[in-house]
Every structure is written in structure tokens, then in C-alpha cells.
């Protein structure tokens, strides 16, 4: 995300600094302007101002919005869904344990105990009776 921001900030500062130095004066200010555009805070005012000089500057803004805002929103939604799935799995595991259902952890513990018991049994000498 930062690379996309930085590239667009450099392009914006290069082309639009003469139009409005308050918004596009240098790269750091351009980064703030781009954040404003990404969050849709009066981005059309910024776009229309630059379109008076560069008619096709709308391509700059729309491509930036598609690359950042929608990608950013999708990442946030993906993270929220992932956290909710993990939380739901934990709640379900606790619910199963409370109901007395066998969980994967219980099975893994029993398998480890059986392996230990088999190793101990195989390592002991076999006692033979002489009757």
C-alpha cells in the first residue's frame, strides 16, 4: 500500500503542485491529500480543480481509488471475517468440550499416551514362566 501511495504522491506532486501547492506542494503533503482521496473526503473538489488544467486527470484519481480504497476495504473485511471465523471455532470447541464431546486435542493426548505406553511395553523384557 505504501508503495502505491508513494508513487501516486510523486506523480501528484510533479503534475499538480503548480495548480494547488497547498494540496500537492511536496510528497509528504501529497500523501495526506491522497489519504483524503482514499477516504472519499471531498475528493471530487480536488479532482475538479486539477481537471481545469489537465482534463484527463480524472484517470489519476479513479485509478488511485480503485487500487487503494477498494483494496483496503477488502483487506479490512478479510481480516474481520478471518478473526470472526477463528473466534467461532474457539467458541465451538469450548461448547463441544462442555457437552462432553471428544475434541481433537483429547484425541491427540490419548494417542501420545498410547505411544508412550507402547514404547515402554516394547522396551521391557518379556518374562517367561517356567512351570
Domains of the chain: 2-86 (1.10.287.70)
User: What is the tens place of the pLDDT at every residue in 49-108?
Assistant: 999 999 999 999 999 999 887 888 888 899 999 999 999 888 887 887 777 777 777 788
**What is the percent of the chain where pLDDT is above 90?**
53
Between the CA of residue 14 and those of 5, 18, 62, what are the distances in Å? 14, 8, 18
The residue behind cell 477516504 is 39
| Summary mean pLDDT of the chain | 87
Between the CA of residue 100 and those of 45, 49, 110, 113, what are the distances in Å? 62, 67, 16, 20
| Predicted local distance difference test score (pLDDT) of residue 126 | 62
34, exposed or middle or buried, with CB in 10 Å at 0-12, 13-18, 19+?
Answer: buried
Would you say residue 113 has pLDDT above 60?
yes
Identify the three-state secondary structure at position 28.
helix
CA distance 92 to 96: 6
Amino acid at each position: 500500500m505504501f508503495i502505491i501511495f508513494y508513487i501516486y504522491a510523486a506523480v501528484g506532486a510533479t503534475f499538480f503542485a503548480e495548480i494547488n501547492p497547498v494540496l500537492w506542494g511536496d510528497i509528504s503533503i501529497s500523501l495526506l491529500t491522497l489519504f483524503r482521496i482514499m477516504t472519499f473526503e471531498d475528493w471530487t473538489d480536488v479532482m475538479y480543480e486539477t481537471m481545469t488544467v489537465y482534463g484527463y486527470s480524472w484517470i489519476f484519481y479513479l485509478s488511485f481509488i480503485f487500487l487503494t480504497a477498494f483494496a483496503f476495504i477488502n483487506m479490512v473485511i478479510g481480516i474481520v471475517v478471518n478473526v470472526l471465523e477463528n473466534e467461532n471455532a474457539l467458541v465451538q470447541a469450548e461448547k463441544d468440550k462442555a457437552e462432553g464431546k471428544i475434541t481433537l486435542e483429547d484425541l491427540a493426548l490419548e494417542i501420545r499416551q498410547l505411544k508412550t505406553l507402547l514404547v515402554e511395553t516394547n522396551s521391557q523384557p518379556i518374562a517367561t514362566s517356567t512351570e
